[in-house]
């Protein structure tokens, strides 16, 4: 009886805070997601085959492979960790898959210098058919806080009749009422244009349906489709102005290491970094080939993604399957990506003195005829001359040239 009264009291307190006394959305945890979140998620590789053993081993691998030191923080358990709700409506993990419980697992992850995330759904059931959070938002938020959860991915399956903004506001209020800082990842698939209303409710919002491990394809599942990296890249047009520190467009998790070629993995990772997208790896970190590890832990490319200015890249030009993108960086630098979407190599010639970049979102511009920059190739890790001479490069099929442009002192 005492336990019942205590739980009911906690729920009543949380509800009271959410209705009138909690700080406005986005105000309670102002330091969260100031740069795009970085971490790992179980879904792309393992789907519903999740367990305590997998998550512990992945946390170990995050440390051993250098992922943690490169900036990856969150170990996120996606769908199918759920058991059942008890008589009071509180959710419990699957006891066979997670025999030690979620609090013990979170403690283990935290002991590695990492943070733990879980998954739920705004509907009655998750996409995998497990108990959803509809009607239990405050109970679930309190439960996650008691476990020590740091990140919540919140999906949109089985939500017939629900309004997306209201459903996500409810869970956002519940998280804040529970009092533990939690990054709130809104996985609504972009259907209700969350970029127009989600700032202040969550820290990131999906802009598309699910990604799949191919560079340029569409997989038709009948009632829904999954998208290749290039299809998702194209869907980001027009969304730049909605992203920034604390609130990010999310083009879905990374497929690096899940079956594409090394060139394609490199291009995929480069463009997500240019987009200021969350970098959430989705491969098996325990069996990661050296070339995949080198891509995921490239600190110079990650620095472009994590730049404090927090501005998403703009597409400057596109011709003959070659796209040139620019991203303004803090301190006056720029990042440049030359993406070859073709199935064959392309020769690229870029005469700096004939080009000007003007970005209305950041208010930044670069007139290369007037200002010289030093060039750094972020994939070879070598200096690559200056903008005093035209750029000439051969970019392999489905690959990218990625440069950092550094303003030359006194120039």
By annotation, the residues acting in catalysis are 155, 210
Pairing of strands 183-186, 204-206: parallel
Locate 333 and state its tokens: 């630098």
**Would you call 332 helix, strand, or coil by DSSP?**
helix
Contact present, 140 and 120 (Cβ < 8 Å): yes
Q: Which helix (H) or strand (E) holds 185?
A: strand 183-186
Which residues, listed in sequence order, are joined to residue 383 by a DSSP beta bridge?
Answer: 376
Please name the residues in contact with 348: beta carbons below 8 A apart, sequence gap of 6 or more: 322, 338, 340, 391, 392, 393, 394, 395, 401
What 3-state DSSP class applies to 60? Answer: helix
**363 CB neighbour count, 10 Å cutoff:** 9
State CA 9 to chain mean position distance: 36
CB burial of 103-123 (b: ≥16 within 10 Å; e: otherwise) equals eebbebbeeeebbbbbbbbbb
Read off the tokens for 86.
Answer: 């008890």
Q: What is the DSSP string of 225-286?
A: EEE-HHHHHHTTTT-GGG-BTTBEEE-----TTSSS-HHHHHHHHHHHHHTT--EEE-S-GG
Q: With residue 206 as reference, give the H or E element that holds it.
A: strand 204-206
């Amino acid at each position: 009886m005492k336990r019942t009264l205590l739980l009911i009291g906690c729920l009543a307190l949380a509800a009271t805070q959410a209705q009138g006394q909690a700080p406005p959305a986005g105000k309670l945890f102002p330091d969260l997601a100031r740069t795009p979140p970085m971490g790992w998620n179980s879904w792309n590789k393992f789907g519903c085959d999740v367990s305590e053993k997998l998550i512990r081993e992945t946390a170990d691998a995050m440390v051993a492979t250098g992922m943690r030191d490169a900036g990856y923080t969150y170990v996120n358990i996606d769908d199918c960790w759920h058991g059942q709700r008890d008589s009071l409506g509180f959710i419990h993990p699957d006891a066979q898959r997670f025999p030690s419980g979620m609090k013990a697992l979170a403690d283990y992850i935290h002991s590695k210098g990492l943070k733990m995330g879980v998954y739920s759904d705004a509907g009655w059931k998750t996409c995998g058919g497990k108990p959803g959070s509809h009607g239990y938002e405050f109970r679930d938020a309190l439960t996650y806080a008691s476990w020590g959860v740091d990140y919540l991915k919140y999906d949109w399956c089985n939500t017939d009749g629900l309004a997306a903004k209201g459903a996500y506001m409810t869970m956002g209020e519940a998280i804040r009422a529970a009092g533990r800082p939690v990054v709130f990842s809104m996985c609504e698939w972009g259907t209700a244009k969350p970029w127009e209303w989600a700032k202040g409710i969550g820290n990131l919002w999906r802009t598309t349906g699910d990604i799949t491990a191919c560079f340029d394809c569409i997989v038709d599942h009948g009632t829904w489709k999954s998208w290749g990296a290039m299809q998702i890249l194209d869907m980001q047009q027009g969304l730049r102005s909605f992203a920034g520190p604390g609130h990010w467009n999310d083009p879905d998790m990374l497929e690096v290491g899940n079956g594409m070629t090394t060139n394609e993995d490199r291009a995929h990772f480069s463009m997500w970094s240019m987009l200021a997208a969350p970098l959430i790896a989705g491969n098996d970190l325990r069996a990661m080939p050296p070339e995949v590890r080198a891509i995921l832990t490239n600190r110079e490319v990650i620095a472009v993604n994590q730049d404090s200015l927090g501005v998403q890249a703009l597409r400057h030009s596109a011709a003959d399957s070659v796209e040139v993108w620019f991203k303004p960086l803090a301190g006056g630098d720029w990042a440049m990506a030359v993406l070859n979407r073709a199935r064959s190599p392309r020769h690229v010639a870029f005469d700096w003195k004939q080009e000007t970049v003007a970005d209305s979102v950041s208010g930044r511009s670069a007139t290369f005829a007037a200002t010289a920059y030093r060039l750094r190739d972020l994939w070879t890790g070598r200096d690559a001359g200056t903008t005093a001479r035209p750029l000439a490069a051969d970019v392999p099929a489905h690959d990218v040239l990625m440069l950092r442009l550094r303003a030359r002192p006194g120039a």
